[in-house]
Structure 1
Amino acid sequence: MASLLESIRDVYRASRKKEDIAWNVYVARPIAAILVALLRPTPLTPNQVTFLGVAIFFVAGAAFIALPGAWGFLVGALLVQFSYLFDCADGQLARLKSMTSEVGSHLDFLMDELKAMILAGSLGIRLWMLDGQAYWLLLATAGVFLVGAATSLTNFVRRPEYAGVEIRPGDSARKRAMPTSLIGKVLWLAEAIARYFVHYPSWILWVALAAFVLPFDAAIVFLALYLGVYLVYLARTTLAILLKLAHPGFYRS
């Protein structure tokens, strides 16, 4: 047992990112190191691990739709966490096997956004299954649209032709120093909160557990917070693009 724990510890230390969010550092990646230790001797490639994580996420979406009540949401949330372990393991495995690639990083980003669409759509359908109200289907459609539009905008503003620099997948997860001005601190805090809610594996379990003791529907609370952040991001990014590209001075820069 001691040698196994040492092996898992060594895998974690050898494959972790230099800069990462707290949930990954203290929860997800240490657990994923167990999975990586098991997968390392196998012929599975990092990209295949990525696809396995997506397949598990489809099962999570089906669980959200098929299983009602607080327990059903908890099962779905646990499957989301299980899928996320594969999302962490693919990069860790790639670093251990020296199989990292630029296209692999972009694949990981693409699959993350696909899972976000599955999550928004399946929870909207879940709410429709509970009371049959058609506006939940509209919410599911709107949620998938928000995620898809935000993904397209993110890809656009990351283009070096627009940003002026090369921005790789995962750069947004890097820590940013807090500004010195009061307005800068407020904006920095707002962005930090938004990044937290966008990264749903960090908090979806807390919503699932809270639904057992508080009088709310976990799916409604989750979608309100999650899609609310996407809506703000979509509005802010669209406005920034309009101000930059629609201004006549753009052609003189």
Structure 2
Amino acid sequence: MRTYSLDDVFETRKRRDSWWTVYFVDPVACRVALPIANHTHLTPNALTVISLVLGAVSATCFALNHHVAGAVVFYLSFMIDCVDGKIARLKGTGTPFGLWLDYVGDRVRVVLCAGGLAYGQYALTSDVRYVVLGAAVAVLDLFRYVNAPQMKRVREAVREERGEREPEPESDEDIDSLERVALVPRARRPRSFPRRFNRFLARHRVRSHLISGIEFHAAVFVVAPLAGAWALIPLAAVAGVLLLVNEVFLVYRLWRFTRRHGVPSSQESREHVLV
């Protein structure tokens, strides 16, 4: 069996990722992935299942109002979820089923933990705002992960209609920077502060959109529980608004993209995009 180095694991990191992952998760996940890759036969799917089990444990802790324990276990769950992708890329053992399992596991973890927080605080205080909090967190997360692949399919359909092959962003958070680079000729790009800032972020592997689903999860399930029950509603509300603003901005960028390049007008083409 091949022996991997830490540099090999570092090579599996995404070209650009959320700042929470880059600064608070990857440094741990890479060092956890190394012994797993060298000394175990754990598959990416097995790690995904372990991550989901830890997510259920975190939800149970939240339901029992053990917020610090719930936050720590949620972090471990997310960290293991990052490790499974690194092992898959390192060993080339990723599978289409593994992609589905990882995707569904993330959604299940969020719904369980949102329900756990809502149940625990409502049982303790009888305050219906916590029920609304749990429902809002789950709905926002599901909206984001339903919207993202649909936006990607719309872009692919437009490019297919134009007969072009363009590089896809690693995620919907990168669409703004990709379009900006594609639209402005290199020699004429202005040296504006946003562009310099985006280059600074790129050098540190950080996405230009600083509030995404990952930061939302971190705020609701890690930062707020560690701060205390008083922080659950205000931090979740602020993070939720910022996430919604980010999603609206991405939709606006998609709208500009479709207007600029044109979209399929036939009913058959619309069904191809959205079904």
Deviation at 1:204, TM superposition (A): 5.3
Q: 1:91 to 1:120 in 2, by over 3 A?
A: same
Shift of 1:242: 9.7
Q: Is residue 2:26 matched to residue 1:13?
A: no
Match of 2:238 among 225, 230, 244: 225
Q: Which residue of 2 aligns with 1:51?
A: 49
Distance 1:114 1:209 in 2: 22
Q: Is the alpha carbon distance of 1:143 and 1:23 closer, same or farther for their aligned partners in structure 2, counting shifts above 3 Å?
A: closer
CA contact (8 A) 1:11 1:33 kept: no
8 Å CA contact retained: 1:53, 1:83: yes
Higher alpha-carbon deviation: 172-181 or 25-34: 172-181
How many residues get paired? 234
Once the two structures are TM-superposed, the CA of residue 77 in structure 1 deviates from its matched residue by 1.2
TM-score with structure 1 length normalisation?
0.70
2:31 is aligned to 34
Matching residue of 1:108: 102
Aligned partner of 2:115: which letter?
A: G
Which AA in structure 1 matches 2:83? A
Q: Is the 1:36–1:89 Cα contact (8 Å) retained in structure 2? A: yes
Q: Which residue identity does 1:30 align to in structure 2?
A: P
Q: Which has the higher contact order (CA 8 A, sep 6+)?
A: 2
Shift of 1:217: 1.0
Identity across matched positions, percent: 22
Amino acid at match of 1:89: V
Cα distance in 2, alignment partners of residues 126 and 10 from structure 1:
43
Which residue, out of 197, 211, 234, partners 1:194? 211
Which sections of structure 1, spanning at least 5 residues, go unmatched?
A: 1-6
Residue 174 and residue 8 in structure 1: after superposition, are their counterparts in 2 closer, same or farther (change >3 A)? farther
Q: Which moved more, 1:109-118 or 1:92-101?
A: 109-118
Query: Aligned in 2, Cα 1:16/1:175: closer, same or farther, shift over 3 Å?
Result: farther
Cα distance between partner residues in 1 of 2:252 and 2:31? 44
Note closer, same or farther for the CA distance 1:121–1:227 as it changes in structure 2 (3 Å cut): farther
Counterpart amino acid of residue 95 in structure 1: R
CA deviation vs aligned residue, 1:121-156 (integer Å, no higher than 9, x gap): 322223212211334324323432332233222232
RMSD of aligned residue pairs (Cα, Å):
4.1
**2:59 touches 2:114 (CA, 8 Å); kept in 1?**
no
State yes or no: 1:171 paired with 2:171.
yes
Q: CA deviation at 1:62?
A: 1.0
In 2 relative to 1, CA 65–134 (structure 1 residues): closer, same or farther, beyond 3 Å? same
Partner of 2:204: none
Equivalent of 2:128 in 103, 128, 134: 134
Amino acid at match of 1:172: D
Task: Give 3-state SS (helix, strand or coil) of 1:125's partner.
Answer: helix
Q: 1:160–1:167: 8 Å Cα contact kept in structure 2?
A: no
Contact kept in structure 2, 1:197 and 1:229, CA below 8 Å: no
Match of 1:23? 20
Match of 2:151 among 153, 157, 172: 157
Deviations 1:21-42 (A, max 9, x none): 3333343222122322232232
Q: In the alignment, what sits opposite 1:4?
A: none
Structure 2 gap ranges (5+): 160-165, 181-189, 199-207, 270-275
Q: Structure 2: which amino acid aligns with 1:219?
A: L
